[in-house]
Structure 1
Amino acid sequence: MPPYSVLIVDDDDKIVQLLKAYFEKNNFLVHTNSNGLDAIKSIQEKHIDIMILDLMLPGLDGWEVCKKIRQQSDLPILMLTARDEESDRLVGLELGADDYVTKPFSPKEVVARAKAILRRTYRETGTQEQWIQSGPLKIDLARHLVLNNEHPLELTPTEFKLLEILVQNPGKVFSRLQLIEQIQDFAYEGYERTVDAHIKNLRHKLEEDSKKPKHIVTVYGIGYKFAGE
């Protein structure tokens, strides 16, 4: 399998060079940009497997970059943020980012998070269909395909992985930490709210009424379960 390619987008050259060295050490092909407009151009012109995106960019900030990319692609996105406000990070997740790392960070952690996202995005699967159906919702686990009333839905890698965990265990209640551990291969306390953001996005895509979900149900005080129909 050829090496993965990563696009690092940050206007701090020291951070770019540090991450570039660590990703190259892990056999990634590395592309870099220092602003949002060039990043969008790179996505359109180059083969990129994952993007490391700083939120505080000159001109077009990371939120706008994420929004524009999600309008045309389900490219995995790992955000970098120096902001301590949880609401700022959740906005990025609600716009479609898969995960975030807060500055200052360990470059090893960034690489590990990127690898975890790639594993759930590009894992090898067989060609045999593995359909699960719940009402108008049909999910093919092998081909990462989700249909709602026969219309395909575009899910981010993290959204699909969350859905996969839940539908494979109908009725089982998962805590937020349990879901984080399964989608990232490790759990970080304090990241529970990221699950809420991804679940919110999933409900908007899956449910007829996201405020009255029939598929992904909240079990108050514990977490979430797949109820189905």
Structure 2
Amino acid sequence: MNLLLAADEPMMLQNLNRYFSKEGYCVLTAGDGEQALELFYEHQIDIAVLDWRMPKISGVEVCKEIKKVSRTKVLLLTAKGEPEDERYALKAGADEYVRKPFDPKVLIARACKLTSGSSQLHAGDLMVDMEAQKIFRNGEDLQATSKEFQLMKYLIQNKGQIVTRKMLQDQVWGFDYMGDDRTVDTHIRRLREKIGESRIKTYRGLGYCLEDHPDE
């Protein structure tokens, strides 16, 4: 799932990038409104998190442009706290409005709520229950381990896209993990045994992909 993150504060941009990446989003970052719109038109964006005050083009103007041509969800960040500011943001098309300073975990939760629509993610006969942290196939609980669930969660959120071993390591074991690729390969093999061998395709030299239409 692609998330556009735009802000002119480098430290905030870096920190939020790490938070959102940890949640399984493919994050595209922009330092101003003009760059944000360029990325929006170059990529399929599922949600845009925009700082209101940005150089060149403000976040609220970027929001207006996005909403003119798409149904992409937009969350605006702002230091503005007056009720009329919030009304103006919502009138511009924003789906959510978060005031600074904010707790990153609250921001993540609100963004996830906009994009999920449901606590369940589906891929064919597979269902990932985000709240219960379980994987089901044709309604049967596959008794997945915590690591298998985290792998499946990331793969299904990026269904149809190749994800590298490094990306999986960062998402499941953390950015400071010092192990090697074989750990990822071992867990992928065990996950395949539960969900079906052909569901996760290996792309040599690149990584893995949860296929939309596996050959089974």
Task: Give the aligned partner of residue 103 of structure 2.
Answer: 106
Matches within 5 A, 1:211-222: none
Whether contact under 8 Å (1:81, 1:89) holds in the other structure is no
C-alpha displacement of 1:120: 2.1
Check 1:121–1:34 CA distance in 2 against 1; reply closer, same or farther (3 A cut).
Answer: farther
Q: Which runs of 5+ in 1 are unaligned?
A: 126-229
C-alpha displacement of 1:89: 1.7
For each residue in 1:64-123, what CA deviation from the matched residue of structure 2 results, as whole angstroms up to 9, or x when unmatched?
Answer: 111111111111001101111121121111111100111001111111001100122897
Determine if the alignment matches structure 1 residue 83 to structure 2 residue 80.
yes
> What is the CA–CA distance in structure 2 between the aligned matches of 1:113 and 1:9, rounded to whole Å?
17
Task: Give the aligned partner of residue 96 of structure 1.
Answer: 93
Q: Which of 22, 44, 48 pairs up with 1:47?
A: 44
> What is the CA–CA distance in structure 1 between the aligned matches of 2:49 and 2:70, rounded to whole Å?
15
> What is the CA–CA distance in structure 2 between the aligned matches of 1:123 and 1:79, rounded to whole Å?
26
Q: 2:18 is paired with a residue of what secondary structure?
A: helix
Whether contact under 8 Å (2:60, 2:76) holds in the other structure is no
How many residues align? The count is: 122
Report the structure number with the largest CA radius of gyration. Answer: 2
Superposition RMSD on alpha carbons, in Å?
Answer: 1.9
> What is the CA–CA distance in structure 2 between the aligned matches of 1:52 and 1:112, rounded to whole Å?
13
Q: Percent identity over the alignment? A: 37
Matches within 5 A, 1:163-202: none
Q: Which runs of 5+ in 2 are unaligned?
A: 123-216
Q: 1:71 is paired with a residue of what secondary structure?
A: helix
Q: Which of 11, 14, 18 pairs up with 2:11?
A: 14
Q: TM-score scaled to structure 1, two decimals?
A: 0.50
Q: 2:117 is paired with a residue of what secondary structure?
A: helix
